[in-house]
Amino acid sequence: MAQQTEVQWTGKTGGGNFGQRFLFGFLKFVKVTVLYPVLPLVVPVYCVVNHKAFGCIFRYFKEIHHFSGWKSFWKTVGNHLLFGQVVLDRFAVLAGNTEQFRFEIENEAVIRELLDQPGGFIIAGAHIGNYELAGHCIRQDNKRINAVIYGGEGAMLMQRRSNSFSRNNIRLVTVEEDLSHLFIIKEALENGEIVTILCDRIWGSNKTLTVNFLGQDAKFPLGSFLLAAQLEVPVISIINTKVRGRLYHSIIQPLAPPDRTLPIRKQSEQIAASYAQALENVLHQHPEQWFNYFDFWEMKTEN
């Protein structure tokens, strides 16, 4: 039977207003790696306080990757330490200290070709590695980028994001309960612009697709895949995996176009399956960079 859980990941950045202001001020002038040694002191406390999220990642390693219990435990601790580094990197970028980061870009020609074409396209991201740095690793002025984001963050952080992204020709589109953001997304694609959206979490609408992902059934949001099928726009995935220190590896993968003779719903399912495969390709190499802190899969357990 499907495993039930009450864990819901809000996607809201912690630290409080004072803590966030301190990080912005400090990381504006120093390299982010200066703060990395603090994480082993902070993360264990976080793991205890947020034990439900810790359990979700532990089950991810044990049930999805089939690691032993002991290995899953240490992988989970390592995952939290790495996520701490990713969060600090994100604050450093929002503080304007972007030149310290380096990017190795795989398959850059894929996005360059799409940028030279008149039509719009979708960049499907995921909570793997550091997706927020995607807008900073690929500089371009060909098309405006519409970044669909969760709107529940604090006002200061949202303003920092807006200022940072605007320098890279990026407009923020917040997810709204009335789903009005879908009209903005549709209009942007019809105008030949780019839409970036994290396609591994369900925001606003409860309409989903069930896809086999790493050997288990998982629910993905229908909206972006349905829109891609309806408007017949290309979809690519971009995932920024952290290599070491301030070095990131950006993996660009084109998603296979669907069979246009099929009904729109079936086309959506094909795009979602291609997206799931793109995520699998990365997670097989970097399982520790999965940062969805809730029970993502409909795991089957023995009675």
Tell which residue, 77, 81, 101, has the closest CA to residue 91.
101
pLDDT for residue 139 is more than 60: yes
pLDDT for residue 53 is more than 80: yes
In a domain, 143, yes or no: yes
Over residues 13-23, mean pLDDT: 65
**CB burial readout 58-81, b (16+ within 10 A) else e:** bbbbbbbbebeeeebeebbbebbb
More confident residue, 269 or 14: 269
Distance, CA of 247 to CA of 242 (rounded, Å): 6
Mean pLDDT is lowest, of 32-41, 94-103, 129-138, 214-223, for 129-138
pLDDT for residue 38 is more than 60: yes
More confident residue, 183 or 266: 266
Which residue range is the domain that position 148 belongs to? 102-287
Mean pLDDT is lowest, of 19-28, 38-47, 79-88, for 19-28
In a domain, 21, yes or no: no
- State whether residue 197 is helix, strand or coil: strand
In a domain, 172, yes or no: yes
φ, ψ dihedrals at 42, nearest 5°? -95, -40
Over residues 109-131, mean pLDDT: 94
**pLDDT value of residue 181:** 82
In a domain, 110, yes or no: yes
Q: Which residues are paired to 149 by β-bridges?
A: 174
In a domain, 32, yes or no: no
Over residues 263-283, mean pLDDT: 97
pLDDT for residue 114 is more than 50: yes
In a domain, 209, yes or no: yes
For 190-226, the pLDDT digits (tens) are 999 999 999 998 865 678 999 999 999 999 999 889 9
Give the tokens for residue 103: 């990017």
pLDDT for residue 91 is more than 50: yes
**What is the domain count for the chain?**
1
Over residues 266-280, mean pLDDT: 97
For 238-263, the pLDDT digits (tens) are 999 999 999 999 999 999 999 999 99
pLDDT for residue 302 is more than 70: no
Q: Which 8-state DSSP code applies to residue 37?
A: G
In a domain, 197, yes or no: yes
In a domain, 117, yes or no: yes
Over residues 63-79, mean pLDDT: 97
